[in-house]
Structure 1
């Protein structure tokens, strides 16, 4: 925004004439004896944009009554008004402020009551470019820090300074106690650095990732990883996704070159451990099937364990007599006691069979684990479907079937 001219009526030392003062220049100099209105002119600009002046604020801190009604000219002319033509965003506008009752004021834009913000003029206290004469002495005799703060305020740098201080504080806090995700990522990068150090294209990257603090250069490191992917796959890798896809494909090809299922044949008794393992697993599964059948038959003829446990505890509480420990009625006859005892005995038998079933399942797991260990002796991961089918044929007693 640029001030073009200023018109002052009945404000402070200015009367009702309302002469227009030109301000459209890169550097303006006002000079004259004391009492000729230099300070009033500066305060008129303050009042126009802020509705208050710094001197008035300071004076009211000492005596509100003494500084009351100090905006209007002492001779009482009306209206008390300050107007300025301003140039903003390529257009000119007339901004005005008129004093009302009780020193309230109203703002106008091109003669219509409106807030200055309606044309994107929003003066804020943090940006206060007016330094009037009465403030110069305070500025000169203030401490260096206070002078710096006053200059920052005059040039609108307070918000930038506050932002810089906040960023510095956040950076220091981040370095002291980084988020958990960042710490985890750093540990992962450091672990990968040992492998990357063996590749020429990522050797410098690995060195920086192992420093303390770690040095990560996103663009440079990404390009180094893409170059390494190109060297390992022998194909261009312009993006990270393409590099990952080509690396996975290359890894699968390497696995196939290590284990070619088509070249395997059962000889020298190498498939014997697999045959024995398969038979052991089958036998163990048969034992589980048999145990399940026995357990199921037993379960069908007994009460639920929790209900029988309740009766067991009741009989222990009432070892003799006809009184039922549940309802306290004389219904627990000798015949009833014998029936409950038989049911409890059957329940014990069922629990024992359940234990046998658990043991049989554990045996199957052990057999399967042993069989898998024999398979791993081939040293192969990520087998294709045709490789697994060939392995199944090798595991049978007659490989031709």
Structure 2
């Protein structure tokens, strides 16, 4: 290993799936790590923990069937409290040779349709991926370099259309697809651009007798807007000539002529709008004279009446400032006005100032009300349908127009006229009621002006006006006769006017500037759309060519790995190929030979491969993928099924060797003890690290124990015959477990003696007592629990019959012995740690 290689140095997991409350750490400082575990001991949980560390996801949820909700709370160990931390961490040595801690903490587990959430950190700094360490993940469900049983056949079992997505992501072709999607999206956006107001007006013109002129304008092209404008104006002037029968000097002249022609045509068509009542303005609110009423009732009525007279008296200069009695200028009484009397008048005038102000404000309010009332009355009179006041000439003209439209129209016209006249009569009732209110307002204003108290009979009321108005509005809204007339006439008028095109041509002329701008933009969009479509066709062809080239490379890699697993077979792999030269579907092709000299016959691999061959193909494809993306490590969970035992050796000798020789770090987990033994034995030169996973305590979780020692190897050998159905098969397990017990006993005795000051090796104990029966008395002083001595004594009682002609112990008994040995080894390892003599 060099400083330029990315490597996993250690791995740590807590609370993830089978891993519980105890933090478990594994040394991974070898290029090859072999991990053995029985079923349900946490082997797959370990692989998924690595996957979670790299991607933050679980491919199990993405690829398995079932509803998303079935994976709720599936990452956290089920026996952990809800607030207990869950994390996966690793020491990753980068290309710079520095080991950094990578850690992913679970923030929230899968919940219903919601994804899990996690936080990824490198040396304590939050990051989004591990690309900074040279670990790039692919797109799609299989993102991490971790082979699990549900990913083993993913590329085989998925639909061909989804398979091509997998291969494109694998072969770094997704960018090409993304570029093509962007090109097609741009083209779609251009196609979906809604026409502007100018082009909409032109579209309406195309539905008239001037359709040829509209088409001519639509086909116009110009290098710039001014050139295009000249062409549009020329075409519109020609269209105007065809409508009017005479040429126009300019666009402005044509607009005037068309407006006059349209008015003349409107006079000849049916005057439907004459039957509609115009909208009314809001009825005015009564004037507020409450303040005047209050002040007038507070003031003396006689004083209020005399107020103008007294005010006039004080305006006479000779009277306002007298210091002696003078004659009264009003009643001519001799010496009638004294200084005292003048002062009294002045005081009275000051007291009645508020009345004067209230009087003035009330008069103004009444005047304003009368003005608004008159305006409203004008709107009522103006709302009367024009047809209600037609003279005989106009009525005859309308009847003639109705008859020209349809034979049913005159009858509808008569009913509508009667309703219009009834509406006019109701409107006049409203006007009469309003005029009565206006007369009452005039009388009220006179009372206020004379400073007289307002009697109840002089109070204004709009009740009669509102009653008349309600009847009028009901008449207008309930005009069924007009509705029937409009329903019959409007389609006929629309058809006639549309076919003429006069109004539509005028509408186009009014939007000339917008039409030129819209047409210029349309030309540019059309040109751009043509370029985009050409680019799309070129990209499609290029993607197919690149796919073929990349598939050739991919196929070579798959064939090479296939050959490492299943060498010299007549059934082989022929490559990854596009179906019918398309870029949507991808097939995996098998090559079938009758003998080594015969030509191969190609078939779809899924249709002809056996189950074992499909597993090998899935593994080969996965390894090719890992190789092509240059992953620095690969994690293989049960790569060779136990049912395919014939290919254990080829996998260990050829496939593992190939991966290790390419510089890749390989971690293999398996429940097959023979595969684990072969993997480490065949590749011994790589100094593999081996582990055994056991789940002794559900709450604490799976425990990894490094087995790169004789005790662990003996325990591993015992797995092969543990479940054998025959006594002969189980005798091998008896021998292995007895050897493991003897080795462990020697290690414990040597370690304890050395710790007490008597340096002792396992070889020294071997010379003193080599058999288990002789070792147990030496071991007795060093047992760690009351029941350990009894467990040691029962081991030979159970295992010895298996080494003789007596019946071998049952599988249940062997599992009990295995469990005892594991617990004893765990206890002494916890006590002595690395000082336990190996």
Structure 2 length normalisation: TM-score?
0.18
Larger radius of gyration: 2
Structure 1 length normalisation: TM-score?
0.35
